A and B are shown apart, each in its own frame.
Chain A
Amino acid sequence: MSSFNLDVYMPVVILITLALLVAGGSMLLGSIIRPHHPNQLKETAYECGEEPIGTAWANFNVRFYVIALIFIIFDVESALMFPVAAVFKHFNEIGLGGTLLISIFTFTLILVAGIVYCWKKGDLDWVKSFNAPSTQQVNALSKDK
């Protein structure tokens, strides 16, 4: 077998097909034998017996949205780190471990700087701490106007 052989991905395709078959098949089997008596009450969203007011697709404060941005950076970082990690042992054996070590350190420390920045800025906290203006400051501001 050659070292690059797409045969190894055949089970992946088969398994994805099987996932669709199992899920779709059980739904199909169910649709034949299960009852189907829809009414308006059944089809409303469940809110513990209260009538739902408005849609759930409203704007609300998603905390930690900055984390989604950090996540992307870290995800790319780990994706880039995988190949380096995979060759590290081999490079170490042929005496190039130091080079890779320096590159891993540089790369990780830049990321650490990023997370430290977010931490300091308060993006990792539930309630973002900030310095609220004192009453006198507010009064001074309103007087200026």
Chain B
Amino acid sequence: MNSTVVTYLSQSKEFTNTVAALSKALGFDATSLVAFVIFFIGALIVVGALATIGGLGTYAERKISADLQMRQGPNRVGPYGILQFLADGVKMILKEDIIPAQADRFTFILAPFLCMIGVFATLAVVPFSSGLMLSDINVGVFYLVGMASLVGVGVFLGGYSSNSKWSMLGGMRGASQIISYEIPATITIVSIVLIAGGLSFKTLINGQGGLPHEWYLLHNPFAFIGFFVYFIAALAETNRAPFDLPEAESELVSGYHTEYSGMRFGLFALAEYIEVFVVCGVAVALFLGGYKVPFDLGSGHIFTEKLGLDSMLAQNIGQVLELGAFFTKTLLLYYVVIWVRWTLPRLRVDQLMTLCWKYLTPIALFNLLGMAVWMYAFDGKSIYSIIFNSAVSAAGHH
């Protein structure tokens, strides 16, 4: 039930051999030790990859915005300016660190750390592929929603502790926005859980298939609307335009991180870009089939049967295909997020609240009820299978 990256790797011969050899050498059962090492290396890889994606996200943001506005964008550091994010990182580390004299020092220092913890902790359950997700916690989505809300605390504390009027307004806006939009997002997630019948990401994704008609997005009309509700709410929760009111640069200078300089600001930015990737990944896992590859290529059975490959090798090929499927869909959504930012103007604060409480929340509640009725009335079948079955039975009557 609870499977992790270790469960996947323990199928291989090397794993058993290593554990046996180590147990012999150390004189105790080394399974936990090996598991710890694998988790640690896995976590390092995930964090490294996601930090790079976050960095490339800033580059992509600037390049795409430049493209949309017929400019060049960064083009000096490295080929096509692709190393710009490294240069930015070095610059941020070298910048002087200024803490305002009036600020509340402890919370001021704590805030970016909270953002980082909130975002990094969610990485544990992001389903990159069926074998290579770090940990498939049985309350996966619930855990993710809980951990992601730490970011809101970080944003508010950052704004409050700076003791600057811009920061204060930004932090207040951030807090009210993030808690408000958590409601439609969570209720939509609950309605997807209704279809899947489980909270772990594996259960959620295994209910779907590789082809679009098997996705929860097209499972029924309520799920289709739910996707957009979730996506809009996720944009708002990550403070992305058109909901970037907490850091609205034309009115609040820089919002909750006005007083943050150098690497402290960098940590906020890094957390934000990784969080965008995480919410895109969750949207993919919940609605767009997650890591599923069409025609069951992901399990690797087909390579063993048709090509006669070793079963572990075939599984590994399947994992790579699954990773490809997950990253393709997630990065496409990531592109949409950036595209939206540079296309739509920012909302006003009251419009933001109206959108959340008068539109998204009622729609999400309606979706939840509709989904429950659909599941009860049609025995959990998707709209495609209902049409397909009725077509088959109609053909059978002839």
Contact = CB atoms under 8 A, between A and B. Distances in A.
> Do A and B interact?
yes
B135 A46 contact: no
Nearest to A48: B253
Contact of B134 (A5, A11, A74, A101): A11
Contacts of B6: 7
Interface in A1-25: 1, 3-5, 7-12, 14-16, 18-20, 22-24
Given A11-B42, A23-B113, A108-B365, A30 B199 contact: no
B290 interface: no
Contact of A16 (B44, B117, B187): B117
A104 B365 CA distance: 11
Q: Helix, strand, loop or mixed for chain B's interface? A: helix
Contacts of A9: 135, 137
Contacts of A85: 190-191, 193-194
A20 B109 CA distance: 12
A68 B176 CA distance: 7
B64 interface: no
Contacts of B99: 43
Interface stretch (B161-169, B238-246, B304-312, B389-397): B161-169
Nearest to B31: A7
Contact of B372 (A12, A52, A105): A105
Contacts of B1: 1, 3
B2 A1 contact: yes
Interface stretch (B78-86, B220-228, B257-265, B320-328): B257-265
Contacts of A33: 93-94
Given A34-B93, A44-B100, A97-B376, A15 B121 contact: yes
A86 B197 contact: yes
A125 B266 CA distance: 36
Contact of B135 (A8, A86, A108, A111): A8
B140 to A, nearest CB: 10
Interface string B146-190: 000000000000001011111110001000100110110011001
A5 to B, nearest CB: 5
Given A23-B113, A45-B162, A86-B199, A78 B262 contact: no
Given A19-B116, A34-B262, A105-B369, A55 B102 contact: yes
Contacts, number: 241
Contact of A19 (B44, B117, B167, B194): B117
A67 B353 CA distance: 9
Interface string A94-122: 00011011001100100110010001000
A37 interface: yes
Contact of A64 (B92, B162, B176): B176
Interface string B93-104: 111111111110
B27 to A, nearest CB: 22
Given A23-B112, A81-B190, A125-B350, A15 B198 contact: no
Interface stretch (B17-25, B32-40, B209-217, B281-289): B32-40
B336 interface: no
A115 B102 contact: no
Interface of B: 1-4, 6-7, 32, 35-36, 39-40, 42-44, 46-47, 51, 92-103, 112-113, 116-117, 119-121, 123-124, 134-139, 141-142, 160, 162-168, 172, 176, 179-180, 182-183, 186-187, 190-191, 193-199, 253, 258-259, 262-264, 266-267, 349-350, 353-354, 357-358, 361-362, 365, 368-369, 372-373, 375-376, 379-380
A37 B253 CA distance: 24
B268 to A, nearest CB: 10
Contacts of A138: none
A91 to B, nearest CB: 9
B35 A34 contact: no
Contacts of A31: 97
A45 B163 contact: yes
B151 to A, nearest CB: 12
Contacts of B199: 82, 86
Contacts of B3: 1
Contact of A45 (B35, B138, B164): B164
B120 A18 contact: yes
A95 B253 CA distance: 58
B176 A10 contact: no
A74 B93 contact: no
A135 interface: no
Contacts of A63: 176, 349-350, 353
A45 B357 CA distance: 34
A12 B146 CA distance: 13
Contacts of B191: 85
Contacts of B361: 74, 115
Contact of B136 (A8, A67, A97): A8
Contacts of B51: 22
